[in-house]
A and B are shown apart, each in its own frame.
Chain A
Amino acid sequence: MSDQQPPQGTVTAGDGARAASPAAPRPRRRKTDWRKRLEITLLAGPAIVVFIGFVIYPVILAGYYGFFRWKGYGPATDFVGFDNYMIILGDSAFHDVLRHNGFILVMSLVIQGPIAIVLALLLNQKIRGRSLIRVLIFVPYIISEVIVGIGWGLMLQTSGSVNGLLENIGLGQFQADWLSDPKIAIWSLMVIISWKYIGFAVILFLAGLQSIPDELFEAAAIDGASYWQIQRSITLPLLGPTVRIWAFLSIIGSLQLFDLVFIIWGQYVASTAGTSTMATYMVANGRTSGNFGYGSAVAVVMFLISLAIALVYQRFILRRDTEGALTEGKK
C-alpha cells in the first residue's frame, strides 16, 4: 500500500476526505466542491438519464397523450380533454376489471400470507435438506410467466391433465371447465398465482426469520415458553416488517397482473371468463385496437390507483418500517 503513494496524492486525499477537517481553508474547499460535483455527475448521471428517459418521461407522456384521441402516428392533435377518462370510468368492462383486480389483490394476501408464514416457521426448524427444500420451493417463481401460463393452460383445459387425473382416481364428477367457466376461472387463476408466487413469500419470510437473533429464542426457552408460545410472542411480531414489505410487493404485483392472464386467456376471452385485469384491458383497448390515446389514459388511471394505494399503504402501514427496510444502515 505505502509504495503507491505519490507525493501530491496526499493533497487530493485531504480534499476528498468527507468533511473530516472542518477547519480546511476556504479556497481549497471550493476546489473540493467542484471535484465532488464532477464525480457525482460522472457516476450518478448515466443512471439518472436512463431512469428519467425510460421510466419518468414515458409516465409523463402517458399523462399528455391521455388527453388526446390519437392513433399512434403523427402528432397528437385531436384534443378531447377528459373524454377518455369519462369513457374509462363509465365503461362496465372497466368496472369488471377493477373488481377482478380487487379480488386478486385480497385473495393473494389471504391465501398466500398465512400458508407462507406457517411453511416458513416449519422450514425454519433445523431439519435435514433445508437448503435443497429452499431451492425447490423457489422453482415456480423463477420460471417465466409465459411458461407457467402455457403449462397450466394445457393442464387445466377441458381435455387436460387435471381432468384426466380426476378421472383416473375416480373423482370424475369433479371435472370442470377450469378456464372457461366464469364461476371457476378466477379461482383457477388464484391457484396459478398462489402456486407461482408463494415460494417467494416463503423465502422472504425465511430470510426474515433468520435475522431474528437466536438469543431471544434461547431466553424464552429457558423461561419455559412452549414452541407455539415462542412463535406467537416472539417470532410473529419480529417477522412483522418482512410481512408488511411482502404484502406491499404482493399488492403492487396484483394491480399490475398481465402476463399470466394474457397468455392463458388471451385478450378477448379474459373478459368473458371473468379474469381480465386492468393491464389486459389497457392492452386490448389501447395498442391492439390502435387507440394509443385511450390506452395512455388507462395507463394513467392504473398509475393513479397504484400510486394511491402505495401511498396509503406506506403512510399507514409501512411507515414504522421504512427507515429500517429501505434505508437500512441506520440501525
Chain B
Amino acid sequence: MTATITKAPLKRGNRSATDRQQWGSPATYFIAFVFIALCLGPVIYIILGGFRDNSQITMDPAGLPGPWRLDNYQEVLASSTFWRQVGNSAIAGIATTLGVVILGLMASYILARYRFNGRGAMYSLFAAGLMFPMTVAITPLYIVIKDLGLMNSLTGVILPQIAFGLPVTVIILVPFLKAIPDEIEEAAAIDGTSRLGFFFRMVVPLSLPGVVTTGILAFVASWNSYLLPLFILGDQDMYTLPLGVQAFASQYSVDTAKVLAFTSLSMIPALIFFTLFERRIVGGLTGAVKG
C-alpha cells in the first residue's frame, strides 16, 4: 500500500519531465529504423519472392515482383500436403502446450508452496534440465521412442517435447506461485478450502499470466521444432511443417519462387501467434530473468 502511495506523485513528476523530450533524438530513430530494416529484410525477401516467378528471380535475384504473380501462393494453398502438415503441426503444438502447462503448473505448485524433504533436489533436477537441450539426448531418445513403438506418430514427438519444455516452465512458474501471498492461502483455509481446492480455485487463475507465457513459448518451440520430428517422423504423411518445408525445398529446388511461397506461408501462423501475445512473452521473460 505504502509503495503505491509514494509511487504516484513520482510518476506524475516523471511524466511532465519526459513530455518535453518525448520524441527523442532523430539519431535514435535512424538507428532503430536501420536495425529493423536489417531484421525484416530477409523476411520481406521471402514473402515478396513468392510473388515473383522463376524467370524474374533468375534475371534479377534482388529485384521486386513485376508483374506480381499470385499463382505460387495459390498452388501452395490448394495443395493438400501443405494443409496436412499445418494440421500435424497444430496437433503437435496444441498437445505439447497443454501437456507442458498442466504438468508444469502442478509440479511448480508443489515446488513453490509445499515444504518437504527433497524439494531442493526436485527443483535442481528440473533446473538442470535447462542445460541439456534435446540435441544432446536425441540419439538415445530416438531409441526410447522406437522401443515404445511410437515411431512415425505425433505422440512420439509430443511426449519428449513436453519433457523438454518442463524446465523452462517450472523456472518461470515457481516465482509466480511463490508470489501469491500466504494470507490468501490462510484465508482460503479458514473458509474451509482444502489445499487442492485452493490450487484449482486460486492458484490457477492467479498464475494465468505466467501460464500463458509458458504456453506460448511451448507452442512456438513445438511449431518450429525440427530435429526431433526429423528423427521420429519418417513417413511423409506425418510430416510437420518444418520437415515439410525442407522436403519441399529439396524436391522443388529449381522452383525457387514456389519454395519461397511455401516458406512464407508456413511462417505466418507463428508470426500471428507471436504478435497477439507479444506482451505476454516479453513479460514472462522479464519475470524469469530479473534478479
Q: Footprint of B on A, CB under 8 Å?
A: 1-2, 4-6, 9-10, 12-14, 16-20, 36-37, 39-40, 43-44, 46-48, 50-51, 53-59, 61-62, 65, 72, 119, 122-123, 125-128, 131, 133-140, 142-148, 150-152, 154-155, 159-165, 167-168, 195, 199, 203-204, 206-208, 210-211, 214-215, 218, 241-242, 245, 252-253, 256, 258-259, 263, 279, 282-283, 286-287, 292, 295-296, 298-299, 302-303, 306-307, 310, 321, 324-329
B135 near A40 with CB under 8 A, answer no
Instruction: Answer whether A150 and B40 are a contact pair too, CB < 8 Å, given A287-B139, A287-B142, A328-B174.
Output: no
* Chain A: minimal CB distance from B142 (Å): 7
Q: Which A residues are CB-close (under 8 A) to B192? A: 4-6, 9-10, 12-13
How far does the alpha carbon of A263 sit from the alpha carbon of B111 in the complex, in Å? Answer: 40
How far does the alpha carbon of A295 sit from the alpha carbon of B136 in the complex, in Å? Answer: 10
- One of B36, B135, B274 near A137 (C-beta < 8 A): B36
How far does the alpha carbon of A119 sit from the alpha carbon of B160 in the complex, in Å? Answer: 36
Q: Footprint of A on B, CB under 8 Å?
A: 10, 14, 18, 21-24, 28-29, 31-32, 35-36, 38-40, 42-43, 45-46, 49, 58, 60-63, 99, 103-104, 106-107, 109-111, 113-116, 122-123, 125-127, 129-133, 135-144, 159-160, 162-164, 166, 170-171, 174-175, 178-179, 185-186, 189-196, 199, 220, 223-227, 231, 241-243, 245-246, 249, 256, 259-260, 263, 266-267, 270-271, 274-275, 278-279, 281-282, 285-291
Query: Chain A CB within 10 Å — which of B22, B132, B193 has the most?
Result: B132
Instruction: Answer whether A259 and B106 are a contact pair too, CB < 8 Å, given A58-B140, A138-B278, A252-B133.
Output: no
Closest-by-CB residue of B relative to A46 is B103
B110 near A144 with CB under 8 A, answer no
* Chain B: minimal CB distance from A281 (Å): 11
Q: Total number of A-B contacts with CB less than 8 angstroms?
A: 331
Q: Which B residues are CB-close (under 8 A) to A1? A: 191
Extra A-B contacts (6), CB below 8 Å, given A138-B274, A203-B285? A51-B163, A144-B267, A151-B43, A327-B175, A328-B174, A329-B179
Q: Which B residues are CB-close (under 8 A) to A44? A: 106-107, 110-111, 122
